[in-house]
Amino acid sequence: MPLTEKQLKERDAKRAIGEELLAAIQDVKAGLYGAVHQVEITQAADARSKTGLSQAKFAELLGVSIRTLQEWEQGRRSPSGAARSLLHIAAIRPDVFREVLSNA
């Protein structure tokens, strides 16, 4: 359950922020800091970023909903068939997608 504002203020009043910062700096210098995670870029996210288009415009050109594109970009779903081919084209020839949009 989230803390109330009053509980947060009481907790924060007892904190020694300076000591916490110093400890954090010492941990970083000692190499004791959080885990580093590598985020894998999906084919859809890579293709769209190369075109420079918004999700809305890119989804419109692909003929899919924005939600479907978001699912592809986040790796929760995978495009099939024609969509996969269009993403490949967008990745290697992003200028074609921008040209199609400008001529629409």
Residue type, 54: S
Domains of the chain by residue range: 43-103
pLDDT digits (tens, 9 = 90+) for 28-86: 888 887 777 788 899 999 999 999 999 999 999 999 999 999 999 999 999 999 999 99
Among left, alpha and beta (phi > 0; psi -120 to 50; other), residue 89 is: alpha
Q: Among all chains, which residue has been given the structure tokens 């978001």?
A: 70
pTM: 0.62
| CB proximity list for 91: less than 8 A, separation 6 or greater | 43, 46, 47, 50
Looking at domain 43-103, which of 1.10.260, 1.10.3470, 3.30.1380, 1.20.1070 is its CATH number? 1.10.260
The answer, yes or no, to whether residue 101 has pLDDT greater than 80, is: no
